[in-house]
Amino acid sequence: MGKRLLFLILFLGILLQVSAQEVKVEGYFLQDSAKLGERIGYVLKASYPKEKQLIFPDSVYDFSPFVLLEKKTFISSTKESMTVDSAVYYLSNFELDPSLFLTLPVYELNRYDSVAHFPLEAELKLKLTLDSIPEQLVFQENNVYQPIEKKWNWLLFGGIALIAILGLGVFFWLFADRIKKIWNERNEKRRWKRFQKRWAAATQNLKNENSMNAADELLGLWKGYMESITNLPIKEWTSSEIGEKLEDIRIFSSLRSIEMIIYAGKTSEIQEASDYLLEVAQEKFHEKLSKIKHVRANH
C-alpha cells in the first residue's frame, strides 16, 4: 500500500511538472463594453518555457471586425525557467453587432513549422448612448404669424408608397439571389486587389530586410488569404501539409524557402518562391470567381 501511494505521488508530480512547461496564452479586453469607434485595449499574454521561441501578431494580421490602431509590447520576464511575454493591442470597432468576439494567436516557432496557440474568445459589447431627455418640455413663445401649409393628399401619397413598397418587394424576390452573387463577386475582386497591394509591400520588405519578422509577415499574409478564399484551415497546417492537401509540391518548397529565413536565419533568393505563392493565390481567386459566376448563371 505504501509503495502504491508513493508511486501515485511521483506520477502526479510528473504530470504537474509537464503541465507547468506548456505554453499558456491569455487574451482579454481592458473593458467589457465600448462605444462605436472608441479606442479599446486588448491584452495578449503568453507564458512558456524559456527555451521556446514565440512571436505575437503584428499589423499584417487581420484583426477584423476590429481595426488596429496601435500595438504596445513589453519586456519579457523570465522566472524559474518560465518566460512571460505580453502586448496590448489598441483597437476600434465600427460594427453594429451587439457583441463582438476576438481571439489572437501566439505562434510557437519550431524547427520546420510553427504552431498557433489561441486563448479563449474575449467578448466586447457595443455601448449605445443617447442624450438625456428633460423631464419637462420647454416651449418657446412665438406670436409671429405662421402660414399654414397646404394639406397633403394622404390617400394618393399612401397609394404611391404602397405601390413602391410592393414593387421593391417583387424586385427583391425576383433578383435577390442574383444581386447577392454580384455583390459577392465584387467583394472578392476588392479583396484580391487589397491582397495584391499588401503582398507587393510585404515581398519588397522581405527583400530589403531579409529578416525573420519580414518572412513571418509574408507567410502570415499568404496563409490568411488562402484560408479565406478556400475555407480550408491553412493557418493550422504545416508547410508539408499544405503542399499535400493542395496537391502541389511546389507550394511546400516555396514555403520552405521563406521559412528558412525564420527557422535557420539563412538568406535566400525568395523572388521565385514569392512569385509562385502569388500565382497559387491568384489561381484560387479565379476558381472562386468562376464558381460564383457559374452559380449566378444557373439562377
Three-state secondary structure call for residue 32: coil
Q: What are phi and psi of 147, to 5 degrees?
A: -65, 140
> Can you tell me the mean pLDDT for 69-79?
92
Of 75-84, 127-136, 219-228, 255-264, the poorest mean pLDDT is in: 127-136
Cell numbers that stand for 220 in this block: 502570415
pLDDT at 295: 63
pLDDT band at 273 (very low <50, low <70, confident <90, very high): confident
Domains of the chain plus CATH, in order, are 21-126 (2.60.40.10), 174-298 (no CATH)
- What are the pLDDT digits (tens) for 226-259? 999 999 999 999 988 998 988 989 999 888 888 8
Sorting pLDDT into bands at 50, 70 and 90, what band is 8?
A: very low
CA distances from 213 to 182, 206, 285 (A): 38, 9, 27
Confidence label for 268 from pLDDT (cuts 50, 70 and 90): low
- Across all residues in the chain, what is the average pLDDT? 83
Do residues 90 and 40 lie in contact, with contact meaning Cβ atoms separated by under 8 Å? Answer: yes
Position 1 pLDDT exceeds 60:
no
- The answer, yes or no, to whether residue 122 has pLDDT greater than 90, is yes
**Report field, pTM of the whole predicted structure over 0.75:** no
More confident residue, 127 or 4: 127
Of residues 258 and 172, the one with the higher pLDDT is 258
Q: How confident is the model at residue 269 (pLDDT cuts 50, 70, 90)?
A: low
Helix (H, G, I), strand (E, B) or coil at 298: helix
pLDDT score at 139: 65
- Residue 270: closest CA among 285, 255, 251: 255
